[in-house]
Amino acid sequence: MFPVLCLIPGLVLVAVFVAYPVLESVHVSFGSWDGVGAVVFRGVQNYVRLVSDGVFGSSLVTSLEFFLLVTAFTVAIAVLLANAISRGVPGGGFFRVVWFLPVIVPTTVSGVFWASAFQPTTGIVNTLLGAVGLGSAHAWLAEGSTVLYCVAFAAIWTQAGYAMLLLLGAMETIPPEVHEAAELDGVGPVARLFRITLPIILPMLGTVTVLMAVFSFNAFGIVYAMTQGGPGNASAILPVLVYKESFLQQDYGYGSATAVVTCLVVGAIGIAVLRLFRRQAMEA
Amino acid sequence: MPTIRYRRAALVGALAVTVACGLAACGTGTQGTGSATEGTVRVQTATGPTADAMKRVADDFEKANPGVTVELESLDANASRSPNAALLSSSTAPDVGYLQRSTGVWSTLIKNHELLSLDDVWKASKLADKYAQSQVDYYTTDGHHYGVLYDELLINPVYYNVDAFTKAGIARPKDHRFASVAELEEAAAKLKSIGMGGLGVGGSSPFGLGHTLDALLPTAVSADDYATMLTNFRPGAPGGDVTYTQPGVVKMLQLMRDWETKGLYQDGMLGMDDSKAAALFTGGSIGMVQGGTYSWANISAAKPSFAIDWALMPSLTPGRTTPFDAFNGDTLVVPKHATHPELAKKFIEFFMTDKYQSTVIPESGSLPVFQNLDASKLTGLGKPVRQMLEASARDGVVNIWDSTVPTSLGQAFSVPVLQQVVAGTITPEQGAQKFQDALEALRSGKAPSDTD
């Protein structure tokens, strides 16, 4: 009985602070609400509006681009960093801390830092590019064609350390003899990474990929701190759109409908990635 | 066994009490009846120079009312919007709430009867006699007053670096006005020739390009059309034939786009907020910056090493002059759930006097709203702001467009559209059509046409 009692506080918290708000969001998504008073029921009107809303469509595409970029690069970079440390790169202990530091920096601080770094005349990025002759007049955050990459870069910077730490933990469970035997057989370091390390840590790689996918799809903080979704809606991923619709335009019904669809998309992506890795693991 | 059962019962009981307490805290409160002579009065205020000014008023109020403590809670531009509507209608509402009449918060609170009438404060402070009639009308709902307006902002002047203008051989705009678009563009080009940026605009701010539009729109269309645009969004209102697809609006949007391609704005304008644009100006990197009476306090606080003057944006119709855009919207209210409503009213009454209108308000960079005050006797008004006040009285003022129309057409909607036009993502014609679609959604009742 005691173990069941132990669950109750957690269940109450989840019910009050997660389940209830989620259900309430679904309720609001079927109505019109300005934040105060009663919700006026409007049926599926908000969802019908979503289908024909060009801003929502472009925001969905932006979210998918952002998610692919951030997830792929974060996991790839994290794998390389974790592999370097686990294989005993000189100063590994130091790099483990340094690469993890961006994770503990508050997101808004990271956002403000990178927003300043990408400024055309005063930013460090253009200064460095100018110093090596690559031009110093790039308006990174003002151009619709570059802004998403800049924000994705900052998101990767903030997430890679976390992914690295999780993967490093998995890599360190591999017995050293496995690598030593492969080395004696003449298997090079790159081949060892792809043929030994990654297959062994595949379950953790799957978990990390799902986590990074969810983080990147929900990366409201870094995007809003850097660009507020602009210019126009060029970097407005779905959570930014939800915020703008709900809190700036006070259209909580439409914002909630957008949030519900966002949750469904994130859930579908998470399940798809997990299934992909599960299949890979079974084949391995 | 009985002990275990007792422990289980106690545990479940404690849990139930905890949950009940938590839920009770989320519940709806009732109107407070706190003492009018002692206690802590919680007062919301805008961040920045206004917060400093309000601190002085709070100190004076505490001295005048022993036993009363004023707790200031400052809000930035984002926090004062929709999230504040929820706070002001909650059981933890402050005693004095702050809101801007352009963000939808006012109409939401009024519609849901969340504000206390301040008729007694208006009467005691003689506000109906001191405000302009348009302001009295603006703050009268069903014959009652639910808020007080405490300052006015002029939002469209451009500050320029006099030393840079001289160095670049640019003639200073006559009578504080750029005579033509060509004159403004030439000034930007000459500034570039001496290695400086042109006009600084906070393109990524939620209001930056909206203020540019506000400065240009009154002369982009006829005066009658502009006046109609401030009211024709209501279902059934006259003026449905005044459209945003008319040539004047398209031409204005094209001009805003052209200024980007010609490099009139600072580099990276669309990725820079208002404060960064102002910092470039005060740091001497750009020669002009879009601002208003509200931004002078921050600009002068940066102690720039050069002389500064101001000018209005050029008129887009020959023969007409660009009017000042006025924002009347900084408002104090008393929420229905305030703990100390009487103290709150007492504080507002204490604040809404000639004394603070002529000292604290000007020192915060804003203009007073009392019509009985002699502008020449206001202390703490910066020289440019005083000149703007005098010029606005002489040349006329119009209500700011993007804060007058509802949010589904105004600032929250229009700025992203303007960003797309300026970035070249959509054409000026497409941008104009988006404005027209938003207008038609309002007129047809598909979008709420509540205004602040």
Contacting residues of B for A54, CB less than 8 Å apart = none
Q: What would the two tokens of residue A167 be?
A: 């993967």
Question: Measured between alpha carbons, how far is B94 from A255 in angstroms, rounded to an integer?
Answer: 27
The 8 Å CB, 24+ separation contacts for A272-275 are A273/A206, A273/A209, A273/A210, A273/A213, A274/A206, A274/A210
Question: Measured between alpha carbons, how far is B208 from B418 in angstroms, rounded to an integer?
Answer: 10
Contact A34 B285 (CB under 8 A): no
| DSSP run (H or E) holding B68 | strand B68-75
Contact B271 A9 (CB under 8 A): no
Please tell me the total number of residues recorded for chain B in this structure. Answer: 452
pLDDT, residue A10, reads 94
Listed in sequence order, the residues at least 6 apart from A231 whose beta carbon sits closer than 8 Å to its beta carbon are: A141, A142, A143, A144, A147, B203, B204, B270, B271, B419, B420, B422, B423, B425
Q: Given CB atoms, is A107 within the 8 Å cutoff of chain B?
A: no
Which residue is associated with the tokens 């603006």? B138
Q: What would the two tokens of residue B363 be?
A: 């020192």
Contacting residues of B for A1, CB less than 8 Å apart = 8
Contacting residues of A for B109, CB less than 8 Å apart = 36
Q: Given CB atoms, is A244 within the 8 Å cutoff of chain B?
A: yes
Whole-number average pLDDT of chain A? 91
Contacting residues of A for B448, CB less than 8 Å apart = 32, 34
Question: Measured between alpha carbons, how far is A246 from B4 in angstroms, rounded to an integer?
Answer: 49
Q: What would the two tokens of residue B165 be?
A: 């203008």
Q: What is the CA radius of gyration of chain A?
A: 22
Q: What is the pLDDT of residues A16-35, one digit of tens each?
A: 999 999 999 999 999 988 88
Q: Given CB atoms, is A129 within the 8 Å cutoff of chain B?
A: no
pLDDT mean over A59-73: 95
Number of cross-chain residue pairs from A and B with Cβ atoms under 8 Å apart: 132
What residue of A is the nearest CA neighbor of B23?
A16
Question: Measured between alpha carbons, how far is B192 from B210 in angstroms, rounded to an integer?
Answer: 25
Contacting residues of A for B11, CB less than 8 Å apart = 5
The 8 Å CB, 24+ separation contacts for A264-267 are A265/A60, A265/A63, A265/A217, A265/A238, A266/A213, A266/A214, A266/A217, A266/A218
- For chain A positions 133-152, those within 8 Å of chain B (CB to CB) are 137, 139-144, 147
Residue among A1, A121, A244 whose CB faces B285 most closely? A121
Contact B420 A233 (CB under 8 A): yes
List of domains in chain A: 56-283 (1.10.3720.10)
Percentages (nearest 5) of helix, strand, coil residues in chain A: 75, 0, 25
Residues forming a β-bridge with B42: B71
Listed in sequence order, the residues at least 6 apart from A93 whose beta carbon sits closer than 8 Å to its beta carbon are: none
Q: Are B344 and B334 in contact (CB under 8 A)?
A: yes
Listed in sequence order, the residues at least 6 apart from A192 whose beta carbon sits closer than 8 Å to its beta carbon are: A179, A182, A183
Question: Measured between alpha carbons, how far is B111 from A169 in angstroms, rounded to an integer?
Answer: 56
Q: Are B450 and B406 in contact (CB under 8 A)?
A: yes
Question: Measured between alpha carbons, how far is B277 from A162 in angstroms, rounded to an integer?
Answer: 35
Angle between helices B341-351 and B49-64 (to 10 degrees): 110
Question: Measured between alpha carbons, how far is A264 from B88 in angstroms, rounded to an integer?
Answer: 33
Angle between helices A54-86 and A92-104 (to 10 degrees): 160
Contacting residues of B for A233, CB less than 8 Å apart = 416, 420
pLDDT in tens, chain B (452 residues): 444 444 444 444 443 433 333 333 443 444 555 666 778 999 999 887 788 889 999 999 999 999 999 999 998 877 887 789 989 999 999 999 999 887 888 988 998 999 999 999 999 999 999 998 888 988 999 899 999 999 988 988 999 999 999 999 999 999 999 999 999 999 999 999 999 999 999 999 888 999 999 999 999 999 999 999 999 998 889 999 999 999 999 999 999 999 999 999 999 999 998 989 999 999 999 999 999 988 888 898 899 999 999 999 999 999 999 999 988 889 999 999 999 999 999 999 999 999 999 888 888 778 899 988 887 777 778 889 989 988 888 888 898 998 888 888 988 889 999 999 999 999 999 999 999 999 999 999 877 666 66
Contact B407 A248 (CB under 8 A): yes
| A86 three-state secondary structure | helix
Compute how many other C-beta atoms are within 10 angstroms of the C-beta atom of residue B52.
15
Band of residue A278 on the pLDDT scale cut at 50, 70, 90: confident
Contact A36 B268 (CB under 8 A): no
Residue B129, CB-side half-sphere exposure with 13 Å CA sphere: 9
Residue A165, CB-side half-sphere exposure with 13 Å CA sphere: 15
Contacting residues of A for B420, CB less than 8 Å apart = 231-233
Q: Given CB atoms, is A233 within the 8 Å cutoff of chain B?
A: yes
Q: What is the pLDDT of residues A92-109, one digit of tens each?
A: 889 889 999 999 999 999
Residue among B271, B425, B426 whose CB faces A139 most closely? B271
Q: Given CB atoms, is A73 within the 8 Å cutoff of chain B?
A: no
Burial of A194 (0-12, 13-18, 19+ CB in 10 A): exposed
Q: Given CB atoms, is A248 within the 8 Å cutoff of chain B?
A: yes
pTM: 0.80
Compute how many other C-beta atoms are within 10 angstroms of the C-beta atom of residue A218.
16
Q: Given CB atoms, is A1 within the 8 Å cutoff of chain B?
A: yes
Residue among A32, A37, A120 whose CB faces B268 most closely? A120
Q: Are A161 and A80 in contact (CB under 8 A)?
A: no
Which residue is associated with the tokens 């120079």? B49
User: What does the DSSP 8-state code read for residue A161?
Assistant: H
Tell me which of A4, A11, A34, A136 to substitute to probe the interface with B (most B C-beta atoms closer than 10 Å).
Answer: A34
- Gap from B202 CA to chain A (nearest CA, Å): 11
Q: Given CB atoms, is A199 within the 8 Å cutoff of chain B?
A: no
CA dihedral B262, B265, B271, B272 (to 10 degrees): 170
What residue of B is the nearest CA neighbor of A234?
B420
Residue B419, CB-side half-sphere exposure with 13 Å CA sphere: 33
Contacting residues of B for A12, CB less than 8 Å apart = 15, 18-19
The 8 Å CB, 24+ separation contacts for A13-22 are A16/B19, A16/B22, A16/B23, A22/A263
Q: What percent of chain A has pLDDT over 70?
A: 100
List of domains in chain B: 39-149+329-368 (3.40.190.10), 154-326+398-443 (3.40.190.10)
Sheet of strand B324-327: strand arrangement: B153-154, B324-327, B397-399
Contact A36 B413 (CB under 8 A): no
Which residue is associated with the tokens 């579908």? A268
Q: Among A151, A158, A147, which Cα is nearest to A74's?
A: A158
Contacting residues of B for A115, CB less than 8 Å apart = 271
Tell me which of B6, B272, B434, B446 to substitute to probe the interface with A (most A C-beta atoms closer than 10 Å).
Answer: B272
pLDDT, residue B32, reads 57
Residue among B19, B271, B417 whose CB faces A141 most closely? B271
pLDDT, residue B36, reads 65
Question: Measured between alpha carbons, how far is A283 from A195 in angstroms, rounded to an integer?
Answer: 14
pLDDT, residue A207, reads 92
Q: Among B100, B96, B77, which Cα is nearest to B207's?
A: B77
